[in-house]
Homo-oligomer: A and B are copies of this chain.
Amino acid sequence: MKRVGIIGASGFAGAELMRLCATHPDLEVAFAAADSQAGTAVGGLYPSLAAAYPGMVLQPWEAIPDDLDVVFLALPHGTSQSIVPKLSAGYIIDLGADFRLDDTALYPAWYGQEHTAPELLDDFVYGLPELFRTSITGATRVAVPGCYVTTAALTLAPLVTQGLIEPTGIVVDAASGVSGAGRAPKASTAFSTVDENFTAYGLLNHRHTPEMQMALSRHAGTDVELLFTPHLAPMNRGILATCYARPTGSPTGDDLLAAMQDAYEGEPFVVVSETIPSTKATLGSNSVHLTVQMDERTGWVVAIGALDNLVKGAAGQAIQCTNLALGLPETAGLAAAGMYP
């Protein structure tokens, strides 16, 4: 058993890490920190965790023990960069944005502040296993991608990398469940605001945009430019991205689907088929579902991906990366089957 610490255990991604670790055969949570909730019982803050973690109490992060094997950070943007330098654990897995972007200039442009630990960026590999597995295997520092980014990058990567679509002019139109907005109560995520509602937000400037471009550009070896429009759907979890791009040649829909299937052949968590993905098929699992079609009439390629934003889009992918880092079976502790209904 590897001893795990979670910093930021009061947020949804942190709580999801605790849920997943509770049934992971090789990871056990030895320390859970949440500064804002220090002193609160885990099962008090999250009754859902009461049966699995009886007696465990949230700590201030500075109380972190020295003997942890793995530390997960699930913190608001800008927080990890001040904590990581003080950690001694062998494996550090960051679910935040602080160590994802390779161009430090993007932080002030999209996040509104300078990066305070740019020298650490090179220590981190980008934790999207299906696209960058080799670099994650055995790594000691992993920056886990954003939820929207994982969806869009896995949907578009086979097409752009194989040169089947133009790398610019792409539109990523996505919808997310509300858990992506975090646990803190606010008017925009109140039940009465969100229930029976569908709306767009973050028009033109959502922070996941440059990360999508980076992930795709790096994988494809060419500059990708896209517009990203997120929407909020009245549900807890799930992201579905509908992506529009122009083909480079004259592929049929079957050509595109075959290319996508080839790219993910053998992947335990990727399902590529003619079935239109739905978020619900991935609920609670680490799976991503994909499809693609070609509209001969208008000349648009339409590619669609879906996943659970808190699992494959956050905590599950973090554990998948941890498994790779530690040399465990990549699927350990992760469900491929979604909870339905």
Residues of A within 8 A of B (CB): 12, 15, 18-19, 22-23, 25, 43-44, 46-53, 168-169, 171, 173, 175, 177-179, 183, 185-187, 189-201, 203-204, 225-227, 229, 231, 233-238, 240, 242, 244, 268-271, 273, 275-285, 287, 289, 293, 295, 297-300, 302, 304, 306, 335-341
Question: CA–CA, A102 to B179, complex, Å?
Answer: 45
Indicate whether A276 sits within 8 Å of B227 (C-beta atoms), given known contacts A50-B281, A233-B198.
no
Q: Is the CB of B298 within 8 A of A235?
A: no
Chain B residue contacts of A46, Cβ below 8 A:
281, 340
Task: State the 6 A-B residue pairs at the shortest beta-carbon distance, nearest first.
Answer: A48-B338, A199-B278, A197-B280, A47-B281, A192-B341, A52-B337
B341 x A193 contact (CB < 8 A):
yes
User: Which of B15, B187, B234, B242 meets A340, CB within 8 Å?
Assistant: B15
Additional 15 contacts, C-beta under 8 A, given A171-B244, A175-B175, A198-B280: A12-B192, A46-B340, A52-B335, A175-B231, A191-B191, A191-B236, A195-B341, A196-B235, A197-B280, A198-B238, A198-B278, A204-B295, A233-B233, A284-B339, A339-B339
| Number of identical monomers bound together in the oligomeric complex | 4
Report chain B residues within 8 Å CB of A238: 196-198
Q: How far is the CB of A264 from chain B (nearest CB, A)?
A: 11
Contact assessment for A271 and B185 in the assembled complex, using a CB-CB cutoff below 8 Å: no
Residues of the B chain whose Cβ atoms lie less than 8 Å from the Cβ of A183: 187, 190, 192
**Closest B residue to A20 using CB positions:** B337
- Partner of A237 from the list B196, B201, B268 (CB cut-off 8 Å) is B196
Residue from B22, B191, B273 within 8 A of A178 (CB atoms): B191
